[in-house]
Structure 1
Amino acid sequence: MSKTTGRILLFLPIFVILGFIALITVMVMTAPRPERVSAEPAPVAVFAAQVENTNVQLSVSTQGEVRPITQINLVPQVSGRIVYVNPNFIEGGFFDAGETLIQIEDADYRLAVTRAQAQVAQAQQALVREQAESDLAASEWQELGQGEASSLTLREPQLAQARASLAAANAQLQEAQLNLARTRVSAPFAGRVRSRLADLGQFVSPGTQLGQVFSTDAVQIRLPLTDNELSMLNIPVAFQATEDNPGPRVRVSATLAGQYREWEAELVRTDSAIDSQTRVLYGIAEIDDPYGAAAEAGGSPLPVGLFVDAAIEGRVVDGAYVMPRSALRGEDTVYVAELGGTLSIRNVSVITSNPEQLIVSGGVSADDMAITSPVRAASNGMRIRTIGPDGEIIDARSAVLNSDDDEADEDDAEGQGEEARLASSAG
């Protein structure tokens, strides 16, 4: 074997490997490349509810405490020992107007009346005697005197003094009778006893607190109202209800003895000034006969001290837009599901909202679907898939695509029918 042949055999494997690599390279470079398809983001599933256009009766929700309109501290005007206590004069007891609640020992005051009556009798006798002497002096002057008699001659000063003494005696008698009547302690109204601070046998003096009572003819509830809530009620700041201009109705509710109760009240006036600490104006609602007629209507008496919820009837807004409260984003933003399956950010004019509803006056229409579920990184034009409150898919974009598919199917059917007609005619 020659040297040339040996060299060829030596480098032959290398040439084969290089040729194989070159072939693979050419195949890779000439192979068809797959087309790149840009993947569109999947639509975001959202829940939505129909926006309603209707007339809305606004309502202001607030809270307050039931308080008596009339409440007094029961105190005596005379001193003495307590000899009688009414069985109803106890915490929670009911009493009638003028009913004796406490009786103070009156023996000393009866004696004072007797002494005053004796002084009146003496003063009357002195006046009669002085009147007779004055008449006698006038008669003697007519018979014996000359000219005009002086007042002293006719005993007119003595007669005036006797009359004044009688008037003073009568005043003392009236005072003694008044003190005697004041030994019987009562209230000028029908009510209930809130507390009792005195008992049988106790000595009391004028001003000693015997207890605390309140009237049951009506109760009141002070309800805090913000400036926005006042505008919803459409009442002036200095409001006073009259027969011609009654106040808004108030539905008072509370859970009492494990049961939900409701009572009807009326907003009768607003407070005289805005509270300097809370910056709210208080409205006063009143309920008549809380232990009688109101108790029958509400199924239970409305006790003093109960903390209640109050819904005040406000003005009527014509053509308002109503949607679920969860549709509100921030202070005045709502997300709307547009036709074509996109999201639209709207600014709305909020009238009021509560835990269930959002009421606005503009920014949306009755045909809109308000998005109620959370949406992360929301933006105008974001692709969405809308789901209704009952779980049904109401995506407008899907409806449009389905209609396009239906039209394509109809075109295919028409084309196939035309081909069939041409074939039959050719045959």
Structure 2
Amino acid sequence: MNKMLLAAGLASTMLLVGCGEPTAQKSGGMVPKVVFEPVTIIDYQPSKAYVGRVSALEDADITAQVTGYLKQRHFNEGQLVEKGQLLYTIEPSSFEAQVASAKAALAQAKANLKRADSEFQRAKTLLPKGSISKSEYDTRHAEQLGATAQVAASQAQLQLAEVNLSHTQISAPFSGRISDSKVSIGDLLSPSSGTLTTLVSLDPVHATFQLSERERLEMGAENFQGDGKSSRNAVQVNLLLENDKRHSHTGQLDFVGNRIDLQTGTISVRASVPNPQYTLLPGQHIKVEISAVATQPAIVVPRRAVQTDIAGDFVMLVTEGNVAERRNIDLGVQTEDGVIISTGLGENDKVIVSGLQRVRNGITVQSHTPDAAE
């Protein structure tokens, strides 16, 4: 009997406790307090970074075109040189002699031509009078033609000798930085001697990288016309150095490949970038940041509002009636204003940024704006 009374008492106590919970929720004591913020709309410039490499617009091996002893070097190794600046001098005396000989041969050929011309003109006068035979006339005409040909040949020999003489002075074909010299004064140089030194241009430079086919279409590179701009002027190029500093000059596309690489599924793309301070050097690794010139609206939320579980990234919203709602999202890039939400949110949504540890999907919350919470 006593056991039955004890059981009845316990049941009554539990019933009273259970009936007390709704009263507490209605009074607001158990409703989680949260802070929310409306999403922010910013003007966003889409961009993406790629690993690239710097290369020179011009990269030349300097070689000898004639055979001779190296007389003088006119540059300091590693210095900047201007287009047309003298680099090497090959001993010119033998080539000067060849020029003099060719000039003499030309003078002799012109003298022979003058004599042959005179004889031919006399023959033209005597032939109608019957003073000379037709055979003699033909001989003098042939001599005149031969003398003319000899003058042309002598002129060609003189021109060749002068070209060879000019090759004794080796000049820079363009402006740039020169490397170390592979030869010394007194060395016998010839066309088979190989590279004497190398010269690379430094301003501007090329930045070469690879785009996937999808990225090529997204960035507007498919409209590239080969004139240094896309037809819609859609993209600009920025370079990030190894120390994460941004190169101070913006580049532009100047080449897009004509086929997709079957092994990598990418296409070769190149940009021309000003380099007046010579910050960039050929062979240097850089990050190439391609960004759209035109901005577009983007939804941004504070990073602390984003949560992640096994289902993916999500945020908690405050909806009508102060009801918390889970919303799955796709994240974009981090900006100074917050993280961009690619999909999942609308411009009128309000996201919970504080008190998230007590919030569950579908429960009622007591919401405040940041100012009200203070």
TM-score category (smaller protein): 0.7 to 0.9
TM-superposed CA distance for 1:382, in Å, is 6.7
TM-superposed CA distance for 1:194, in Å, is 3.4
**Secondary structure at 1:263's aligned position in 2?**
coil
In the superposition, the TM-score normalised over structure 2's length comes to 0.77
**Secondary structure at 1:364's aligned position in 2?**
coil
2:14 aligns with one of 6, 27, 35: 35
The residue aligned with 1:336 is: 316
The residue aligned with 1:308 is: 286
2:238 aligns with one of 251, 258, 273: 251
The residue aligned with 1:198 is: 183
Q: Does residue 346 of structure 1 match 2:311?
A: no
Cα distance between partner residues in 2 of 1:231 and 1:328: 32
Letter in 1 for 2:91: E
Gaps of 5+ in 1: 1-21, 395-427
Gaps of 5+ in 2: 23-29
**Secondary structure at 1:34's aligned position in 2?**
helix
Residues 228 and 252 in structure 2, CA contact (< 8 A), matched pair in contact too: no
CA distance 1:249–1:316, change in 2 (3 Å): closer
The residue aligned with 2:205 is: 219
TM-superposed CA distance for 1:360, in Å, is 4.5
Cα distance between partner residues in 2 of 1:237 and 1:151: 74
String of CA shifts for 1:112-166, please: whole Å, max 9, x gaps.
11221221122112212211221222232233359x9468536211111111111
Cα distance between partner residues in 2 of 1:333 and 1:171: 80
TM-superposed CA distance for 1:285, in Å, is 1.7
Cα distance between partner residues in 1 of 2:135 and 2:35: 112
String of CA shifts for 1:197-242, please: whole Å, max 9, x gaps.
2222222210421111012342111133334433442342654345
Letter in 2 for 1:305: G
Letter in 2 for 1:35: M
CA distance 1:211–1:273, change in 2 (3 Å): farther
Q: Does residue 173 of structure 1 match 2:158?
A: yes
The residue aligned with 1:283 is: 269
TM-superposed CA distance for 1:30, in Å, is 5.1
1:273 aligns with one of 246, 259, 274: 259
TM-superposed CA distance for 1:361, in Å, is 5.6
Larger Rg: 1
CA distance 1:277–1:380, change in 2 (3 Å): farther
RMSD of aligned C-alpha atoms?
4.0
CA distance 1:194–1:368, change in 2 (3 Å): farther
Residues 234 and 294 in structure 2, CA contact (< 8 A), matched pair in contact too: no
The residue aligned with 2:64 is: 76
% identical aligned pairs: 22
Letter in 2 for 1:272: N
Cα distance between partner residues in 2 of 1:264 and 1:240: 18
Letter in 2 for 1:124: K
Residues 66 and 308 in structure 1, CA contact (< 8 A), matched pair in contact too: yes
Residues 336 and 343 in structure 1, CA contact (< 8 A), matched pair in contact too: yes
**Secondary structure at 2:52's aligned position in 1?**
strand
TM-superposed CA distance for 1:63, in Å, is 3.6
Residues 253 and 262 in structure 1, CA contact (< 8 A), matched pair in contact too: no
The residue aligned with 2:47 is: 59
- Superposed, which structure 2 residues align to 1:3-402 within 5 Å? 24-25=2-3, 27-29=5-7, 31=9, 33-35=12-14, 50-88=38-76, 90-91=77-78, 93-145=79-131, 149=134, 152-153=137-138, 155-207=140-192, 208-236=194-222, 238-241=224-227, 245=231, 246=233, 248-254=235-241, 261-288=247-274, 290-291=275-276, 295=277, 301-314=279-292, 316=294, 318-324=296-302, 327=306, 334-339=314-319, 340-346=322-328, 352-354=332-334, 358-360=339-341, 362-370=343-351, 380-381=361-362
Aligned residue pairs, count: 355
Residues 253 and 263 in structure 1, CA contact (< 8 A), matched pair in contact too: no
Higher relative contact order (Cα pairs below 8 Å, separated by 6+ residues) = 2
The residue aligned with 1:416 is: none
Cα distance between partner residues in 2 of 1:277 and 1:129: 73
Residues 239 and 246 in structure 2, CA contact (< 8 A), matched pair in contact too: no
TM-superposed CA distance for 1:344, in Å, is 1.4
CA distance 1:239–1:393, change in 2 (3 Å): farther
TM-superposed CA distance for 1:79, in Å, is 1.4
Residues 76 and 210 in structure 1, CA contact (< 8 A), matched pair in contact too: yes
CA distance 1:131–1:43, change in 2 (3 Å): farther
TM-superposed CA distance for 1:167, in Å, is 0.9
Cα distance between partner residues in 2 of 1:198 and 1:46: 78
In the superposition, the TM-score normalised over structure 1's length comes to 0.69
Cα distance between partner residues in 1 of 2:209 and 2:352: 35
Residues 35 and 352 in structure 2, CA contact (< 8 A), matched pair in contact too: yes
Cα distance between partner residues in 1 of 2:35 and 2:363: 15
Letter in 1 for 2:316: V
